[in-house]
């Protein structure tokens, strides 16, 4: 943990205020809280979690995560427990969640329902949608509207990861109504971001609704809740412009790479994004940059040779058939590419071979 977060955040924030030209009443007004709440917090008393977050984001946004981590570890009262857990999950502060849960159990002598749910989330975050996950959700019984909303969101993940996109969208409509009734501003933002993370994917890939996908992606970026959510938004924006604007698509991919560069352990994602830029460059007849030739397929694109050696590869065959079909004006290969993209319920990418089939005279309206 950095040296900033090693101190009480109140001391740190007081020093920032002292060195600034703004008075406390001006800062409070800009944050959207009363001066009384700001003074109360700086004086050592607990206020609503969302207020603390807004104070930190205004005074020291660069160190927000470190400061809020320290705030959570110093302990939060029951009314702020759920927002603190959700914040830590959003920021991937999993060890902090474990500490909060352990502290709660030690203090109360039994596990709190919120602790139980977030422990389940931590244990299931790599297996959303499998049978154990679906069955595990059934044991929870919500005791308040916030808990009911989160459980509905977790159920939504099950539908989404099982490819049941229509019921996922139906479920999201109900979740939106639940979110509207919540009183905690941070939980409203965080829960909305959770459904938007799913929506950007469904809108673009499964529904081929580019405008809605971009709208949800920009909404995620405006919330700026976490690097992970920002990367999801940027990736969807990059993909959404693939057949529309090379410059827009390339710019969003590069922003993804910029964020990924901060995480040396995420090499697989870095490689995937670089390969997708190579695919983008090939699609737009650009020279494949050496830095993006990170896989055998990307290297093959760089050589501009036939891609028939990839026709049997379960992942690359759809792209190989697309590019060879496009280059050779071969309708059979383009149709196979369309079929393989459609098989994966990827309607957006399925439009890529479809565009070139239409140019060859195919009428999809018959």
- For 17-60, how does the pLDDT look when each residue is reduced to its tens digit (9 = 90+)? 999 888 999 999 999 999 999 999 999 999 999 999 999 999 99
Distance between CA atoms of 59 and 12, rounded to whole angstroms? 10
The whole-number average pLDDT for the span 261-273 is: 91
Closest by CA to 238, choosing from 223, 230, 224, 248, is 248
* pTM above threshold 0.85: yes
Q: Where along the chain do its domains lie? A: 241-302, 306-366
* pLDDT of the residue at 5: 44
- pLDDT surpassing 80 at residue 4: no
Give the C-alpha distances (Å, rounded to integers) separating 134 from 142, 151, 313.
16, 11, 32
Asked if 279 contacts 286 with a C-beta cutoff of 8 angstroms, the reply is no
Asked if 103 contacts 75 with a C-beta cutoff of 8 angstroms, the reply is yes
Distance between CA atoms of 260 and 24, rounded to whole angstroms? 37
CA-CA-CA-CA torsion for 52, 215, 255, 208, nearest 10 degrees? 140
What is the enclosing helix (H) or strand (E) of 292? none
Q: What is the pLDDT of residues 66-117, one digit of tens each?
A: 999 999 999 899 999 999 999 999 999 999 999 999 999 999 999 999 999 9
Q: What is the pLDDT of residues 116-171, one digit of tens each?
A: 999 999 999 888 888 899 999 999 999 999 999 999 999 999 999 999 999 999 99
Residue 187: exposed, middle, or buried by beta-carbon count in 10 A (0-12, 13-18, 19+)? buried
Higher pLDDT, 21 or 250: 250
Q: What is the pLDDT of residues 300-353, one digit of tens each?
A: 999 988 999 999 999 999 999 999 999 999 999 999 999 999 999 999 999 999
- Residue 34, phi then psi, degrees to nearest 5: -80, 155
């Amino acid at each position: 943990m950095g040296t900033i977060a090693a101190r009480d955040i109140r001391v740190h924030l007081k020093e920032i205020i002292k060195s600034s030209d703004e008075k406390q009443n001006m800062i409070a007004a800009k944050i959207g809280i009363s001066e009384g709440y700001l003074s109360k917090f700086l004086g050592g008393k607990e206020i609503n979690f969302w207020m603390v977050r807004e104070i930190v984001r205004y005074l020291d946004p660069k160190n927000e995560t470190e400061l809020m981590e320290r705030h959570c570890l110093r302990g939060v009262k029951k009314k702020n427990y759920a927002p603190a857990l959700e914040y830590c999950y959003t920021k991937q502060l999993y060890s902090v969640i474990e500490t909060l849960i352990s502290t709660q159990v030690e203090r109360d002598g039994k596990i709190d329902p919120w602790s139980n749910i977030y422990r389940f989330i931590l244990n299931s975050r790599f297996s959303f949608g499998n049978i154990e996950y679906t069955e595990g959700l059934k044991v929870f019984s919500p005791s308040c509207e916030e808990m009911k909303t989160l459980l509905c969101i977790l159920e939504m993940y099950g539908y989404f990861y099982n490819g049941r996109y229509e019921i996922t969208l139906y479920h999201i409509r109900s979740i939106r109504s639940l979110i509207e009734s919540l009183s905690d501003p941070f939980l409203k933002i965080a829960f909305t971001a959770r459904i938007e993370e799913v929506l950007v994917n469904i809108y673009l890939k499964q529904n081929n609704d580019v405008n809605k996908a971009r709208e949800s992606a920009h909404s995620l970026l405006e919330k700026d809740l976490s690097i992970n959510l920002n990367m999801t938004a940027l990736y969807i924006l990059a993909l959404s412009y693939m057949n529309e604007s090379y410059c827009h698509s390339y710019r969003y991919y590069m922003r993804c790479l910029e964020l990924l560069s901060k995480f040396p352990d995420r090499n697989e994602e870095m490689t995937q994004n670089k390969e997708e830029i190579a695919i983008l460059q090939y699609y737009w007849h650009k020279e494949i940059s050496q830095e993006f030739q990170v896989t055998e397929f990307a290297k093959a694109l760089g050589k501009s040779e036939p891609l028939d050696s990839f026709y049997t590869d379960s992942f690359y065959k759809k792209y190989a058939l697309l590019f060879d079909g496009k280059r050779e004006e071969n309708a059979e290969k383009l149709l196979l590419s369309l079929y393989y993209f459609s098989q994966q319920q990827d309607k957006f990418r399925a439009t890529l071979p479809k565009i070139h089939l239409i140019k060859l005279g195919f009428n999809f309206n018959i």
